[in-house]
Amino acid sequence: MYLYPGWRRVIFVAVLVVVLIIALAPSITQGTIKLHIYGLTPHGVIDHLYVKFANLQFHTYGFGFGAGWFNVTETTPTIDLIPIASQFLPQIVASAQITSGRYDAIRLVMTNSTALVGSSRVSLSNTPTLNANFTLPIPPNGFGDVLLLLSFDESLVLANPAVLSIQVVQTSVV
């Protein structure tokens, strides 16, 4: 038998419901995530390597890799993976509002890759999908930066047929 009066039970149940709603409700706060990309290949035979990303996704921590992917709907610019000597900071590929929380992976699907070798333009086939793992907390009303250092195989770009083989060398988060 419960020894306390009925009004105390009502307050206890109300507080319990509020605590459960706060604990189990999904996050509704937003943060900002910025993606920076820097190519590590110096100027050489290939003057420019332009890539465009068709799809950019971040993976929410705690979900399996079949679920939990957040698509960034912002259009991404075409970037040059051959760094300019006067460029000290990596290019920002995307900056988007994202639900606050922890993220642990990124997936980049490339399209329309083109190399400029001297005065000739080389269209590249087999544009790969890049994947990288990291741990990045996005606090409410906060921000997070992801820096991907990329490298590509220059000999495959100059081969016949020309293809693009690119890999993530390092991932840094702030």
Over the stretch 137-174, which tens digit does the pLDDT of each residue have? 998 888 999 999 999 888 888 888 888 888 899 998 97
The reply to whether 63 falls in a domain is yes
Over the stretch 9-43, which tens digit does the pLDDT of each residue have? 888 899 999 888 877 766 678 899 999 998 888 77
The reply to whether 49 falls in a domain is yes
| CATH code of residue 120 | 2.60.40
The reply to whether 18 falls in a domain is no
Residues paired with residue 120 on neighbouring β-strands, in sequence order: 117
| pLDDT score, position 26 | 65
Structure tokens at 77: 């610019």
The reply to whether 83 falls in a domain is yes
Over the stretch 105-132, which tens digit does the pLDDT of each residue have? 999 988 878 999 988 999 887 678 899 9
Indicate the pTM of the whole model: 0.78
d(CA 152, CA 168): 9
The reply to whether 7 falls in a domain is no
What SS3 class is residue 4?
coil
CA 105 to chain CA mean position, Å:
7
The reply to whether 21 falls in a domain is no
The reply to whether 17 falls in a domain is no
- The domain containing residue 122 runs over which residues? 27-173
Q: How many domains does the chain have?
A: 1
Q: What does the buried/exposed string (b/e) look like for 118-146 if buried means 16 or more CB atoms within 10 Å of the residue's CB?
A: eeeebebeebeebebebebebeeeeebbb
The reply to whether 51 falls in a domain is yes
- 4: pLDDT strictly greater than 80: no
